[in-house]
C-alpha cells in the first residue's frame, strides 16, 4: 500500500467533534511507507489521553488493520507562531488555567482534581498553584517535601499522584501579599516558568488567584494559556462574577474551554434526599446563554472538603459518585482542549487550500 492509498483509507475515519473525516480536516500531518512496508502516520492530535483523541487514534488503527497494517502512530501539533526559540514553556503541550470570578467557589478544588484526574488517565501533568490567597499545593505535599534546588539553582517540583507540584507559596512565603504589587507578579511568574524543572508535560494546570484583576491579567499575558476553565456555583451572584471572568478572558483572547459548576446538588448522607443548596442548573444555563461548553456539575459533598484537607483528591476515589463527576469533568476538559488544537489546524489548512469553487468570479457568497 502506498502513501496515497493509506491516506485514502484514513478518509474513513471521522472526527466526531468536528464532523468530517480526518484527511479532509487536515489532521493527517504525514504518512510514510518504508521500503519494507512499515507504515507511520503522524496525526495532528494535541490533547493526550483525551477520550476523543484516544478514540480517533484507535479508529485509525482499526481502519489500517483491515488492510493488514499495524501503523506506528505519532501526534504533533504544528508549532505555535513562535519560531524565535524563546518560547515560554516549550516542553509543555497544554496550559489550562482554572479561574473564578470570586473566592470560595471551589476553584482550587477543581484545579487539584483536574490535575490528578488527567494524571490518572496517564498524562504527564504539572499543577502550578498561583493562588496566593489560598494556596493548596503546600497542603497537598508533606512538609518534609519542599521543592529541591539543583546546582544550577533551578527547582525540582515534588510529585504527588503523578502530578508535579509547584506553588507561589514555595517561592515567596505564604504570608507575603506584597508581591502582588507592580512588576513583582511578572517576576515571580517568570521564575516559575523558567526556573522550575517541569520536564515534558502534556498538561500544566494553573490555579489562578480568584477574581478578575490585574494580577490575573498579568498571568495570562505571561503564560501561553491553551484554554481556561471557569468555575462557578449555581447562585446568581456567583454567576455575575463568572461573567466578569469571561470578560477578562475575552479581553485577552484566551479560549474558554467551558464552565464548571461546583457545589450543585447536596445529597444528604442522613436522609438520602437531594437538596439544591445554591440553586440548580445555573451553571449550564449560564454556559448556554454565553454559547460556551458546559463541562459538568460537581455535587456538594463533605468528602470533597475532607479529601482537600487530607490531600486526597476525590477524583481518585473510584467508588465515589462525586469522584465520577470529577472524572467526567476531566474528560470534558481534555476533549475540549483537543478541539481547540484540531480546529486551529483544520482552519489553517482550510485557509491554505482555497475551496474548489473559488475564483469562478461568481461574486460573493
Ligand X SMILES: Nc1ncnc2c1ncn2[C@@H]1O[C@H](COP(=O)(O)OP(=O)(O)OP(=O)(O)O)[C@@H](O)[C@H]1O
Q: Of all residues in this chain, which one has the CB nearest to ligand X in the complex?
A: 134
Mark the segment that binds ligand X (CB under 6 A) among 43-51, 78-86, 176-184, 293-301: 293-301
Number of residues that bind ligand X (CB under 6 A): 20
Stretch 204-243: interaction string toward ligand X, x if CB under 6 A:
------x---------------------------------
CB atoms within 10 A of CB 156: 15
Q: How far apart are CA 131 and CA 119, in angstroms?
A: 21
Looking at the Cβ atoms of 168 and 300, the one nearer to ligand X is 300
CB of 258 to ligand X, least distance (A): 17
Q: Figure out which of the listed residues 141, 225, 304, 332 binds ligand X, where binding follows CB under 6 A.
A: 304
CB of 119 to ligand X, least distance (A): 18
Cβ 27 vs Cβ 10: under 8 Å = no
CB of 21 to ligand X, least distance (A): 40
If one asks whether residue 293 binds ligand X (CB under 6 A), the answer comes out as no
Torsion of CA 161, 163, 168, 173, to 10 degrees: 30
The β-bridge relationship of strands 201-207 and 125-129 is parallel
If one asks whether residue 321 binds ligand X (CB under 6 A), the answer comes out as no
Stretch 91-110: interaction string toward ligand X, x if CB under 6 A:
---------x--xxxxxxx-
CB of 266 to ligand X, least distance (A): 8
Report whether 85 belongs to an annotated binding site: no
If one asks whether residue 166 binds ligand X (CB under 6 A), the answer comes out as no
CB of 96 to ligand X, least distance (A): 15
If one asks whether residue 169 binds ligand X (CB under 6 A), the answer comes out as no
The three-state (H, E, C) secondary structure of the chain, written as one string? CCHHHHHHHHCCCEECCCCEECCCCCCEEEEEECCCCCEEEEECCCCCCCHHHHHHHHHHHHHHHCCCCCCEEEECCCCCCCCCCCCCCCCEEEEEEEEECCCCCCHHHHHHHHHHHHHHHCCCEEEEECCCCCCCHHHHCCCCCCCEECCCCCEECCEECCEEEEEHHHHHCCCCHHHHCCCHHHHHHHHHHHCECCCCEEEEEEECCCCCCHHHHHHHHHCCCCEEEEEECCCHHHHHHHHHHHHHHHHCCCCEEEEEECCCCEECCCCCCEECCCCCCHHHHHHHHCCCCEEEECCECHHHHHHHHHCCCHHHCCCCHHHHHHHHHHHHHHHHHHHHHHHHHHHHHHHHCCCCCCCCCCCCC
If one asks whether residue 296 binds ligand X (CB under 6 A), the answer comes out as no
CB of 105 to ligand X, least distance (A): 4
Q: Figure out which of the listed residues 185, 301, 313, 336 binds ligand X, where binding follows CB under 6 A.
A: 301
Cβ 204 vs Cβ 95: under 8 Å = yes
If one asks whether residue 131 binds ligand X (CB under 6 A), the answer comes out as yes
Q: Figure out which of the listed residues 82, 199, 305, 321 binds ligand X, where binding follows CB under 6 A.
A: 305
If one asks whether residue 63 binds ligand X (CB under 6 A), the answer comes out as no
CB of 269 to ligand X, least distance (A): 12
If one asks whether residue 298 binds ligand X (CB under 6 A), the answer comes out as yes
Looking at the Cβ atoms of 43 and 105, the one nearer to ligand X is 105
Report whether 106 belongs to an annotated binding site: yes
CB of 156 to ligand X, least distance (A): 26
If one asks whether residue 122 binds ligand X (CB under 6 A), the answer comes out as no
Binding residues (CB under 6 A) for ligand X: these are 100, 103-109, 131, 133-134, 210, 262-263, 298, 300-301, 304-305, 308
Which segments are annotated as binding site? 101-108
Amino acid at each position: 500500500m502506498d502513501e496515497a492509498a493509506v491516506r485514502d483509507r484514513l478518509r474513513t475515519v471521522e472526527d466526531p467533534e468536528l464532523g468530517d473525516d480526518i484527511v479532509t480536516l487536515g489532521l493527517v500531518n504525514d504518512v510514510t511507507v518504508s521500503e519494507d512496508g512499515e507504515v507511520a502516520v503522524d496525526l495532528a492530535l494535541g490533547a493526550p489521553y483525551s477520550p476523543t483523541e484516544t478514540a480517533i487514534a484507535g479508529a485509525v488503527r482499526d481502519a489500517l488493520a483491515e488492510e493488514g497494517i499495524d501503523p506506528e502512530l505519532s501526534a504533533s501539533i504544528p508549532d505555535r507562531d513562535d519560531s524565535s526559540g524563546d518560547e515560554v514553556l516549550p516542553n509543555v503541550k497544554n496550559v489550562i488555567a482554572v479561574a473564578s470570578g470570586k473566592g470560595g467557589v471551589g476553584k482550587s478544588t477543581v484545579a487539584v482534581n483536574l490535575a490528578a484526574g488527567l494524571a490518572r488517565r496517564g498524562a504527564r501533568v504539572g499543577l502550578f498553584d498561583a493562588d496566593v490567597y489560598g494556596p493548596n499545593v503546600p497542603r497537598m505535599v508533606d512538609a518534609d517535601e519542599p521543592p529541591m534546588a539543583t546546582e544550577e539553582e533551578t527547582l525540582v517540583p515534588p510529585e504527588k499522584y503523578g502530578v508535579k507540584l509547584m506553588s507561589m507559596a514555595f517561592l515567596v512565603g505564604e504570608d507575603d501579599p506584597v508581591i502582588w504589587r507592580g512588576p513583582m507578579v511578572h517576576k515571580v511568574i517568570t521564575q516559575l516558568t523558567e526556573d522550575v524543572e517541569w520536564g515534558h508535560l502534556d498538561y500544566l494546570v494553573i490555579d489562578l488567584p480568584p477574581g478578575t484583576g490585574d494580577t490575573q491579567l498579568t498571568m495570562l499575558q505571561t503564560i501561553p494559556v491553551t484554554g481556561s476553565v471557569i468555575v462557578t456555583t449555581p447562585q446568581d451572584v456567583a454567576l455575575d462574577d463568572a461573567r466578569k471572568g469571561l470578560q477578562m478572558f475575552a479581553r485577552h483572547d484566551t479560549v474558554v474551554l467551558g464552565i464548571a459548576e461546583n457545589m450543585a446538588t447536596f445529597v444528604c448522607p442522613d436522609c438520602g434526599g437531594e437538596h439544591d443548596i445554591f440553586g440548580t442548573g445555573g451553571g449550564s444555563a449560564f454556559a448556554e446563554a454565553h454559547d460556551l461548553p458546559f463541562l459538568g456539575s460537581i455535587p456538594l459533598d463533605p468528602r470533597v472538603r475532607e479529601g482537600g484537607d487530607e490531600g486526597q483528591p476525590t477524583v481518585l476515589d473510584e467508588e465515589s459518585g462525586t469522584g465520577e463527576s470529577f472524572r467526567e469533568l476531566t474528560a470534558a476538559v481534555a476533549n475540549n482542549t483537543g478541539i481547540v488544537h484540531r480546529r486551529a489546524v483544520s482552519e489553517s489548512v482550510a485557509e491554505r487550500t482555497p475551496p474548489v469553487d473559488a475564483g469562478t468570479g461568481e461574486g460573493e457568497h
